[in-house]
Amino acid sequence: MTTRVLLIRHGETAKPELFHGYESDIDLGVRGYAQAEALAPVIAALKPDALISSGMLRAVRTAEAISRASGLPLRIEPELHERKVGSLSGMPVKGEFGVWPDTLARWLNGETGHAPEGMESFDDLARRLLPVWDRLTAEFAGKTVAIVAHGIVIRVILLSVLEGYNVADWPKLGRVQNVSVSELTGDGRHWKAARIGEVPEEVRRLNETPEIQPPEAPKPV
């Protein structure tokens, strides 16, 4: 009995030039809303049986677009929230990991329990996320479940559950872009990736548009 999980990163935030952790419950920006609307029918066409989201606004707004397209009710899993990053939240982004390169380097060297005060380590994230993963994949065994979360949440899950991967493979995953999809299949114990961090063509075309007009206000789900 094969279970399929679609791990989806939320759309672009209203301030993509800043680093946002758990401490910043920022909304999507104009482009992020457009990305969510472009992604929604792509996910709906995959016919998921359930739709799950982090409780943070940027994830919820992305998932709401999928809910409207698929007709699925949205279920919130609060423990899927973004990493706690303390004083780093709101710092200017300097490349993908420019805000915390020292911590990442220590993780890659096996120090997965390391984190500056007030921040979550890799081990902290795994302890928070993997029980949710185990519970959801057991509940929806043999079905397809779509999960909208955050870049580092998706990375930690991938590196923790995929066969042949560990934290040292962090760079191998490449960038987990906004509204990218990572598709996993497995039997509850063994998981393989059909794709990692793939941005659908519909979204890629949108991302090439220099200016995007604000969409109409979405109707409540």
* CATH number of the domain that residue 165 is part of: 3.40.50.1240
The pair of three-digit structure tokens given for residue 171, joined into one six-digit string:
């760079």
pLDDT in tens, the chain (221 residues): 899 999 999 999 999 999 999 999 999 999 999 999 999 999 999 999 999 999 999 999 999 999 999 999 999 999 999 999 999 999 998 765 667 999 999 999 999 999 999 999 999 999 999 999 999 999 999 999 999 999 999 999 999 999 999 999 999 998 899 999 999 999 988 999 999 999 999 899 888 877 776 655 555 55
Residue 219, in any domain of the structure: no
String of DSSP letters for 153-197? HHHHHHHHHBTT--GGGTGGG----TT-EEEEEESSS-EEEEEEE
pTM of the model: 0.93
Residues 115 and 205: their CA atoms lie apart, in Å, by 38
Per the rule left: phi > 0, alpha: psi between -120 and 50, beta: everything else, 214 is beta
Q: What is the CA radius of gyration of the chain?
A: 17
Residue 81, in any domain of the structure: yes
Residue 174, in any domain of the structure: yes
Residue 220, in any domain of the structure: no
Residue 218, in any domain of the structure: no
Residues 54 and 10: their CA atoms lie apart, in Å, by 10
- Apex CA 72: angle with CA 177 and CA 54, to 5°? 45
Residue 221, in any domain of the structure: no
**Percent helix, strand and coil across the chain, each to the nearest 5:** 40, 20, 45
CB neighbour list of residue 81: distance below 8 Å, 6 or more residues apart: 22, 54, 55, 56, 150, 153
Tell me if 37 sits within 8 A of 206, measured CB to CB. Answer: no
How distant is the alpha carbon of residue 3 from its chain centre?
Answer: 19
Residue 22, in any domain of the structure: yes
Instruction: Work out how many domains the chain is built from and give that number.
Output: 1
Residue 212, in any domain of the structure: no
φ, ψ of residue 56 in degrees (nearest 5): -80, 145
pLDDT of residue 210: 73
The position carrying tokens 């760079």 is 171
Domain residue limits at 184: 3-207
